[in-house]
Amino acid sequence: MSAGTNHEHLYWGVDCGSTQIKVIACDGDGKVVHKRIGRTLFPLLEHVRNTISAGGSGPSPLTEDLLGVKENHTLAATGYGRNHIEFASGKLTEISAHFLGAQQLLQLDGPYTIVDIGGQDSKVIEVHDGRVGQFVINRKCAAGTGAFIEELAHRLEVPLSDLTRLARLHDKDMTLNSYCTVFSGQEVIKILMNGERLENLIHALYASVVQRILEMTSITTQNVVFSGGVMNFNPILIDLFDEKLPDHTTFLVEDAQYCGAYGAALFARGLAEKQAENFSQSEVNVRLAT
């Protein structure tokens, strides 16, 4: 994805996640012209507006367009906050958004599986024949999500940015057994009390995240695509998935953190095209956005 300058028609995607708001604007060719990020804070709408308007030199869809001055911008929302973004012309779930983003960025032929580790949840999405088939979202516990990594990093007093480097220095494979963040925290303390190296423990922590994801569903496709910010910032996760899935081909989508926002922008494009054809939003088939 690359940043550009003014374009006549822009399609905006806002991925309002549990920890961050990601914003992408693309042109009619799907080329990214704006990319913005902010924290998910409250009041939500204010922070969404600020994130959309902040940074970047291009037009703000809020001030110039969505308030009715022009009609050449369309905005779609995804993420847990999608239903609260009242000025969006359409919304879609993260499942569809990550699919649309990954499909456009990778243009894979044949079936593939998207693994998206998010701040509060993780998803495994199977794509067949250019559309979403089966998908699962992790169950109630934080284990297997970014929140789990953050929580244990906090307990270990290790900066998040240092975790992958330390994990790569491990010299022993260990297992954290528990599903539960609290139980895992207790396991961690016990392991540390037994004098284990921190590097081995952090490696085990990552391995457990991978394990929790692979327990959610069996991955049956040859191609596996990684998406979402947690993968972006913890690249060791990809190494660990590669170890566990030796017969699969894995891909990390470019700017994985923005994949959902990009998918939403593509959805907005599809929406605008459909609206131009005088269809209602409910009739827009997300597949057409690709």
Partner 1 sequence: MDMKRVMKDYFLDLDQASKDPERKVAWCTSVGPAEILRAMGFEVFFPENHGAMLGATRVCMDTIPKANAMGYSPDICSYLTSDVGAYLKGITPLTKAYGIESVPRPDILVYNTNQCKDVMHWFEYFAHEFDAPVFGIHPPTHLPEVEESHIADVVKQFEELIRVLEKMQGRAMRREDLQRTCALSKQATDLWAEVLETAMARPSPLTFFDSTIYMGPIVVLRGTKVARDYYRVLLTDLKIRAAAKVAAVPGESKRIYWDGMPVWGRLRSMSELFKANHACVVASTYCNSWIFTDFDPADPLPSMAYAYLKIFINRNDQYKEDYIRKLVNEYSIDGVIFHDAKTCPNNSNSQYNLPSRLRKGGIPAVIINGDLCDLRCYSDEQSSTVIEAFVETL
Comparison of 83 and 186: residue with beta carbon closer to partner 1? 83
Determine the Cα–Cα distance for residues 91 and 82; give it in Å rounded to an integer. Answer: 6
How many other CB atoms are found less than 10 A from the CB of residue 193? 8
Nearest approach, Cβ of 284 to partner 1 (angstroms)? 10
Nearest approach, Cβ of 16 to partner 1 (angstroms)? 11
Per the document, the length of the chain is 290
Comparison of 93 and 200: residue with beta carbon closer to partner 1? 93
List, in sequence order, every residue forming a beta bridge with 11; answer none if it has no partner: 26, 74
Determine the Cα–Cα distance for residues 248 and 127; give it in Å rounded to an integer. Answer: 15
List, in sequence order, every residue forming a beta bridge with 124; answer none if it has no partner: 115, 136
Question: b/e map of 225-263 (b: 16 or more CB within 10 Å)?
Answer: bbbbbbbbbbebbbebbeeebeebebbbbebbbbbbbbb
Comparison of 3 and 45: residue with beta carbon closer to partner 1? 45
Comparison of 100 and 105: residue with beta carbon closer to partner 1? 100
Nearest approach, Cβ of 282 to partner 1 (angstroms)? 6
Comparison of 201 and 261: residue with beta carbon closer to partner 1? 261
Nearest approach, Cβ of 253 to partner 1 (angstroms)? 19
List residues near partner 1 by CB under 8 A. 80, 83, 92-96, 121, 131-137, 139-140, 282, 286
Nearest approach, Cβ of 151 to partner 1 (angstroms)? 18
